[in-house]
Structure 1
Amino acid sequence: MEDSLDKSLIYLIPDWNENTELEEDRVFTLSKFFSKEGYQNKVLLTNPIPFLRYKLNGSGHTYNNIVRVFDVLQNIKTDMGHPLSLEDLALPPDIDKIYTPSATLLVRKEKVFGKVSYNDYGFMSKIRYLQSDGSFIDEVYDDRGFVSEKHYLNKKYEVYKIKYFNELGENSVSQIGKDLIIEKKGNNFLKDKYTSLDEAMREVLHYVMEESTHKQSDHDISIVTTTEKKIIQQTQGLAYKGKMIRIITDRLEEDREEAELIVDTRTRMSKNKVQNYIPIFLPQLNLGVSDSTAQMQIYCKISSIHPQEDKIVASMIQKVIKDEQLSLIFEIDDFKSMERAKFTQKLIIESYFEVSIDSTEYLKVEKYITAKREKQLFTQDVEAVRELQDSSDWSKYVGAVNANLRIDYIYQPDSAMIEDALNSARIYLDLEDKYNMLRHSKAISAGIPIISKHTSDFITDGKNGFTLKDSNDEKELEDFIDYFIYNLRNWNKALVHNVNIIEQHESDNIIRKWREIITKKYEEKN
């Protein structure tokens, strides 16, 4: 029997922008999954992403199955080229450049008139020019080597107009307020003016789909989108031969399209009464080494620290201070909250050991212990603490230093850093504001128990983790941690349970679910 996915071309339509975290995106994850399993799929992008190729490369995804629909709107014909540098620009000869760690200032006659910004890839991404009337113009650069957008801002930094350009420098489209003006009309547009960018993009998307349907007449086309309002509006009424599949995200917008609805988490099934459950973030066998390390590390993920989290953070720090077998790693999304946690740690350690972390004595002991651990101990380091070693305060300073070294922080880690931290963690403690299914799947992949404030697709209470009834209950949290930390048998049972979960999420099982969804449509047709 012919595989229904073999004769189907899958179009995935996401709402990506330059700030989208691709690793956490459902459509991105699905595209990688389909590609890995050998099934044809294309991602249709309806937003401009100037450094798309570098963004995809950083996330380990191929550019070949990407269709930049916004390029049709801008009348861009090329996929080639290289990012521009400041030296490529024809700046006036009397311009001075002042380089700072985060930007380059353009100075003329001792006045700053431009600021060059750089992206995470190290390339020039934007120049903001100051105008004589106090307004601004932002030139946005594309990774293919041209100015793709100009944003016009008033003195309050509010954007009132955007001009879009192609690789020839032609102004193809302008956006004034919500209105979109077609400056260079082509065959893709029925009108010269649209009431919104979404309206014009819907027309372009329809054109792209009609072209694709004509070229791929021997394929059934399945469209996979999410249920964000913008995507539903852009994809209603598309011409294609196949099936519309929508993955329910946080909310289900009104949809006139006859679509098959999918949920990727059982936590949403009761809310939306949808029976098609297909997980997207799949755990992979990537067991860690925490069972063979001396330190038992707790990985604690927090979005931000409010008064109720303060007590939990303090109790976790105190627990690690009292037990030298434990270590703690905090991942805190909000930078100010992370600094707050560090300050709490400082106060607790100073109070517990009766020392000052800012003192000269502490710094000498810290340098001595760190150098000794790294086997880079020099004579001057030994001499610096010799007198202190004979004092009654020596054990206090050593205890304070060791406690500090057992508590670490990571901020905005990439996927590799997260997996590395989970690889050595004994428990994953989830105190995030929202349920992060991808992160839970990574913890399961590492084989470690999860203690979470959220109901999870991956947690079976008492077997491979616990769901906190009250995330502010310090006693409940400590009991759950102790259940796995101090009872190796319980931890091993969690490991076995996690391996079973990984096996249930093997790719063959997931592909079969997708095949059933698509096949059902064909059976209904016949």
Structure 2
Amino acid sequence: MLYFIPAWYQQNKWKELEQSWHTRRMHTEFDDTVKQVQMFHRSGMHDFKILLLSHTPNFRHFLHRQGVLHASYWSCFDAIQEVTKKKAVVFSFHNLNWPEGIEFVYTPFVVVAYLKNEKYAQIEFGEAGNPIEVAMYQNGLVSKRNIYDDRGFVSAMEAYDQGKLLYTDYLTEAGVAKMRVYADDGRVEINPQNNTFLVFDGDEVETVKFSSLNYPNLGEVIREVFYTHILMNNDDDIFCIAMHNQNIQVANELIGREKCILSFYGDRYRIKDHPEAKELVKKAGYIITDSEATSRYLVRELGEEIENLIDISPYDSRMDFGISGELTVQKVLVPVDDLPEDRFKALVIQLASYLPQNENAMIHLFTRNATYNWPEVLLNKVADIVEEAGFDRRIVIPEEIEDDTAENEVDLEDEEEEEIPVRFFVEQCVDELSVSKCIREQRIMVDMRHNPDLYLQINCISTAIPQIIRRETQYMQNMYNGFVVKDFEQIPAALDYFLGSLANWNQAKVYSYDIAQKFTTRKLLEKWKEVRAYMESQERK
């Protein structure tokens, strides 16, 4: 059996990423473990199970969003709270015990309950329309918040004093308090009248007592329950641990005693910031990274070559040539997040200098920053740069038409003034679905950051569009499906090479298709077979 221990945490807390349906999504749910689970679930190549350490009362909805609803999993908090239900159920907030005289007001986003003309409660809903929490109010301040499990019961209750969180109680299916976690110091108290947790061994369930009624933090409770659970594993079991701060304690428990794979994904866990983990990493049975760049970084930080290291892309290529060739405009996708100010300014100036020679080119600034007014801020910043460089700022921000009584008395000369078309736009994409939708319309990508966006590069070869980047990667071969450009002044010429000649663009399309064949699901699964074969050949350390 292959066990995946994911890093699906909310800001380094033992909580899931679920949020209200109307809340702007500030993060993506996709990571290496999501892709690994998807591949194994769809291929049926190997038996696997997800080991969840965080409190995930809406986990069934998460699995549904990722297309792996029936994936097998074990939940540490289900064991702690003695929950045995597996299927989500439909339940209504109307079925809760409301006081007599309660009145519900339906807003476009939430349902607010009023009692005697005072706000009594506010009901929040998830993306599937299920109630996920009910906040209770006293004198206009939150006094209690019930967090609902998608299986139809209250999973946790947060208590507040004057709007400040005091503690969180985690409950059983029957509503009995199991443990209390205090907000000020994180200490945990186990209910002495209900001081047991469940251990699952196949279809058999055993009840075990906690070793103590008091713990310094929630991590210690999770460590004890998790350790008791893995004692039931077999000699041929393999654990794939997503490297994350919350998972280090688990990694320390497993590495050196079990067959373990460590999975590194982007900047989620940088060894440079955690030198104490270097020896732990060296002891791992195998190390998987998301790219060649991450592998090189890891080798450099560890200071030695690593034989049991492989990069397996968390994204597979799927040929979809997009619709950019059918559009009259030529959209240029330009990622700008984390670009230093001097590079950002130089990039904008070179892009603006290219536009006069290609009236069909449009610059689409790509950002994953989900801040509400970020597109406006970004465009104003670009407008200032182009104006300072001698270009008309109206190519970024259109001139506003003043609405006054003299509007009908505009001079004929003003009417004949040439209209300046807008050439700069912002693509604000957070999750992978919106990124894929956006890139289907792009004609070329210009990513001048030190490390190009991995997902964007995979999408570029999948949609077969050229890339202009600062250094060659496994997804872009210089002079074939793109250009390596280190001097910003070369950008206009590189753009003209692909956008000014359909033959050059089509040639890059062919090369992109060839490269994409190396990153199909089948190729990625072959790499996983190599890792599995290696791990299964090793004796338990």
Establish whether TM, by shorter chain, passes 0.5: yes
Whether the 8 Å CA contact 2:292–2:311 is kept in 1: the answer is no
In 2 relative to 1, CA 314–108 (structure 1 residues): closer, same or farther, beyond 3 Å?
A: farther
Given that 2:365 and 2:425 are in contact with CA atoms closer than 8 Å, whether structure 1 keeps it comes out as yes
- Equivalences for residues 340-355 of structure 1 within 5 A: 340-343=377-380, 351=394
Q: Which residue of 1 is the match for residue 533 of structure 2? A: 519
Contact 2:61 2:128 in 1 (8 A): yes
Q: Relative to structure 2, which stretch is displaced further, 173-182 or 98-107?
A: 98-107
Q: Deviations over 1:159-184 (max 9, x none)?
A: 33111112211211221232222222
Q: How far apart, in 1, do the equivalents of 2:373 and 2:486 lie?
A: 27
**What does residue 83 of structure 2 align with?**
76
Shift of 1:11: 0.8
Alignment of 1:45-56 (within 5 A): 45-56=52-63
Q: Is the 8 A contact 1:314 1:344 kept in 2?
A: no
Q: Aligned to 2:187, which of 179, 186, 209?
A: 179
1:465 matched to 2:482? The reply is yes
1:86 aligns with 2:93: yes
CA deviation map 1:15-65 (0-9, x unaligned): 213338665300110111122222222111111222222222122222332
- Check whether the contact 1:225–1:245 (CA below 8 A) recurs between aligned residues: yes
Q: How far apart are residue 87 of structure 1 and its match?
A: 1.5
More helix by share: 1
Residue of structure 2 aligned with 1:331, choices 366, 378, 383? 366
CA–CA separation in structure 1 for the residues paired with 2:348 and 2:372: 15
**By how many angstroms is 1:210 displaced?**
2.9
Equivalent residue, structure 1, for 2:17: 19
Partners of 1:451 and 1:515 in 2: CA distance: 34
Selected match of 1:62 from 69, 73, 86: 69
Could you list the runs of 5+ residues in structure 1 that have no partner in the other structure? 1-8, 365-383
Instruction: Report the residue type matching 1:209 in the other structure.
Output: I
Q: Could you tell me which of 229, 241, 244 is aligned with 1:228? A: 244
Separation in structure 2 between the aligned mates of residue 414 and residue 407 of structure 1, nearest angstrom: 22
Query: CA separation of 1:22/1:56 partners in 2, compared to 1, >3 Å: closer, same or farther?
Result: farther
Alignment of 1:381-420 (within 5 A): 396=417, 399-400=419-420, 403-404=421-422, 408-412=425-429, 414-420=431-437
Superposed CA offset, 1:269-322 (max 9, x none): 233223422322222222223234322111233337985546645764675577
Structure 1 Cα separation of the partners of residues 68 and 397 of structure 2: 52
Q: Which residue of 1 aligns with 2:160?
A: 153
Match of 1:279 in 2: 312
Contact persistence 1:69–1:205 (CA under 8 A): yes
Alignment-mate amino acid for residue 10 of structure 1? L
Q: Which amino acid aligns with 1:303?
A: D
Matches within 5 A, 1:73-152: 73-131=80-138, 136-152=143-159
| 1:198-347 correspondence to structure 2 within 5 Å | 198-213=219-234, 220-238=236-254, 243-249=259-265, 250-252=269-271, 253-254=277-278, 256=280, 258-273=284-299, 274-275=306-307, 276-280=309-313, 281-303=315-337, 308=342, 309=344, 312-313=347-348, 316=351, 320=355, 323-332=358-367, 333=369, 334-343=371-380
Provide the identity percentage.
Answer: 19
Residues 79, 312 of structure 1: alpha-carbon distance in 2 compared, 3 angstrom cutoff: same
**How many residues end up aligned between the 2 structures?**
481
Separation (CA, whole Å) in 2 of partners of 1:142 and 1:431: 44
* CA spacing shift, 1:255–1:86, aligned 2, 3 Å: farther
Scaled by the length of structure 2, the TM-score of the pair is 0.77
Distance 1:224 1:310 in 2: 42
Cα distance in 2 for partners of 1:98, 1:434 equals 50
Answering whether residue 481 of structure 2 is matched by residue 444 of structure 1, we say no
Q: What is the TM-score normalised by the length of structure 1?
A: 0.79
Q: 1:194 to 1:445 in 2, by over 3 A?
A: same
In structure 2, do the counterparts of structure 1 residues 345 and 85 end up closer, same or farther at CA, with 3 Å as the change threshold?
farther
User: Aligned-pair distance for 1:223?
Assistant: 1.0
Deviation at 1:439, TM superposition (A): 2.6
Q: Tell me by how many angstroms 1:197 deviates.
A: 1.5
